[in-house]
Chains A and B, each alone.
Chain A
Amino acid sequence: MNKIALLAIGGGLLAQPAIADEIFFEASGKLSTEVTMYASEGAFSQQDYRSNLSVALTPEFFWEWNDGQDSVTFQPFLRKDQRDAQRTHADIRELSWVHLSDNWELRSGYRKVFWGVTEFQNLVDVINQKDSVEGLDSSNKLGQPMINLSLVKDWGIIDFYVLPGFREQTYSSADGRLRAGLTVHDSLTSYESSRKEDHIDLAARWSHSIDVYDIGAHWFKGTDRSAQYQVVTLNGSPVLKAHYQQIEQVGVDIQATIDSWLYKGEVIYQDNDSENFWAAQLGAEYTLYGIQESNTDLGILLEYGYDQRGTDASANMQNDIGFGARLAFNDTQSSSVLAGVIHDLDYHGTSFSIEAERRFGDNWKATLEGKAFSSGSSNDPASIFDKDDYIKLTLDRYF
């Protein structure tokens, strides 16, 4: 995989010798320090602590030449965690070469891709693997090796992906919080495909904006990013083994932007060896601008997530309602508060979250995040988090 990315980049560098025009270079990045305080010690062994300290560094290096038609971006990610050796990790978020032409661009290497329109979960966002040790937020993703050809047409943008090389999901060690009772051992990971993590996945997506509608449709064939878990015995103790099956999936995402309303929907249909199913995430968002004659905007959002597999679904929102409120103060410090509640209609469990952020000076940002979990019953999969209510303060320094 590394080889393909490097070959692509190397090829690009060779094909485009910097003749007359100079290479533009830029370095930037972010250093994040986070302190997490838990309401109580964890439910499982080795979780007998209530605070954790962690530091992450995300530098970004960017080169551009050939009058902006070629560029290379390198964004490594490094985290050091006080407690969890698995959370102490490094990743290549991006190492890619992009070549532009008039109506197409070719993007090769490790990259991150986002598809979708909804807020609580994105069923159609299938390209990258989750970097789960980073937190419950699915926006933390591992870099995915790819060759992506993007064509701009009158009838929309069409993207083709060849994805050589699969990334396994990351998991906490026994010392980590916000994990299942048993830990996942990646030495046991199995695959449906005989090529295992070397299976070449394929995907295509069409997206277009027509009047007030933004529409996307995709097809994906390859290794499922979500694993199936099985309890096995390793050295006499029970552990979890991840199994990745082959899937074929189609899906659509639509947003209608009408006055102060955003109507959003994502629907997928998946076919795999054991079953076929469909799932949907539907919702709306309404924004009140300049409430109480101030500059503050209040956004209200409501979403419903459904999965035909019901309680067997690997999705977090298989029959769940999500309600959120977003306050944007539109002040100099870009202060904002986002609060959300997700209620599970099958298990009657509820989770609460709040996130407040504010810039300090020109180069600092502080984020305060809180989450609380209240499971409906002991067979609720979310009950593993019952002792993990936390608040987390993150301080970001940008450079």
Chain B
Amino acid sequence: MKMNTLVTSIIAGSLLLSASTVFAQTAEEQGLAISQESITRDNGWVDMLASMNMVLRNKQGQESIREIRMKTLEVEGDGDKSLSIFDKPRDVKGTAFLSFSHNVGADDQWLYLPALKRVKRIASRNKSGPFMGSEFSFEDLASFEIEKYNYKFIEEQACDIGTCFVVEQYPNDKNSGYTKRIVWIDKAEYRMLKTEFYDRKGSLLKTLTSHDFNQYNGKFWRPSLMKMVNHQSKKSTDLMWSNYKFGNGLSESDFNKNTLKRAR
């Protein structure tokens, strides 16, 4: 009898305890949970085709154009595989970039130079460098993987579409160009609407805002326009996405050095 009561009270006590920990998650756990949910909701897209057109603007407002087509394959338990083909500017037409990203460790990257017919394996350490002279760095365009950051939930805040979670994300990669990103994720659909990037000195460097979201295949939200503004250099880049297409039947065999060489 007595024993049973003791056991019961221990079980009841531990249940109570675990219930209260769920309730009183730390800010770090909440930040992680929100970021994880944003990834979970986007799982299962399998493969994607898209065109990205960039307009680069300098301080004086002079414009420069980049046109790129992308093929991406979702890889279970690891980072995505992607093939990017450059159409403009014309001097880099036919240049193609193959990337196998990894959750942990360095990504594998190859560049194809059509004038030389040469495939070059390149170091992927250069995360913080600009992508094609734009205000997007390589890490800004890389796939979002949960292992890449530590997290902290800050608050809920009113944003353009309803209410947003505000979460701070601290990169684990020592080669990251940032000490911190602050992301605004909408509570309804877990879309990243806005990101602020803080440089290695901790100052605000860039703000990215995503606009005109459309939902594809009844599940996957994608923006049509991403605006990146560099507050320090006063330069900006508009990234326009178009021709999103999911479920194209792509497989690993569409991502190798042969497909890189004939990408066009």
Contact = CB atoms under 8 A, between A and B. Distances in A.
Contacts of A100: 262
Contact of A102 (B106, B121, B253, B257): B253
Contact of B133 (A157, A212, A334): A334
Contacts of B65: 362
B123 A262 contact: yes
A398 B93 contact: yes
B258 A209 contact: no
Contacts, number: 91
Contact of B90 (A209, A289, A363): A363
26 contacts: A62-B264, A71-B262, A100-B262, A112-B117, A139-B115, A152-B258, A157-B257, A157-B258, A257-B122, A257-B124, A260-B123, A260-B125, A262-B121, A262-B123, A287-B123, A287-B126, A289-B125, A295-B130, A332-B58, A332-B133, A334-B91, A359-B89, A363-B90, A396-B91, A398-B90, A398-B91
A68 to B, nearest CB: 9
B2 interface: no
Interface residues on B, range: 35 or more
A365 interface: yes
B9 interface: no
A75 B251 CA distance: 31
Given A139-B116, A150-B258, A330-B133, A362 B128 contact: no
Interface string A195-214: 00000000000010100101
B182 to A, nearest CB: 22
Most buried by B among A260, A262, A332, A334: A332
Contacts of B119: 114
A362 B90 contact: yes
Interface string B174-211: 01010000000000000000000000000000000000
A334 B118 CA distance: 19
Contacts of B93: 28, 398
Contacts of A98: 262
Nearest to B65: A362
Contact of A114 (B56, B58, B91, B117): B117
Interface of B: 56, 58, 64-65, 88-93, 106, 108, 115-119, 121-126, 128-130, 132-133, 175, 177, 253, 256-258, 262, 264
Contact of A290 (B122, B128, B253): B128
B117 A113 contact: yes
B89 A297 contact: no
**Cβ-closest 10 pairs across A and B:** A398-B90, A332-B133, A114-B118, A114-B117, A365-B91, A214-B121, A289-B126, A330-B130, A332-B64, A362-B89
A150 B90 CA distance: 29
Given A259-B106, A332-B133, A399-B90, A289 B128 contact: yes
A41 to B, nearest CB: 32
A34 interface: no
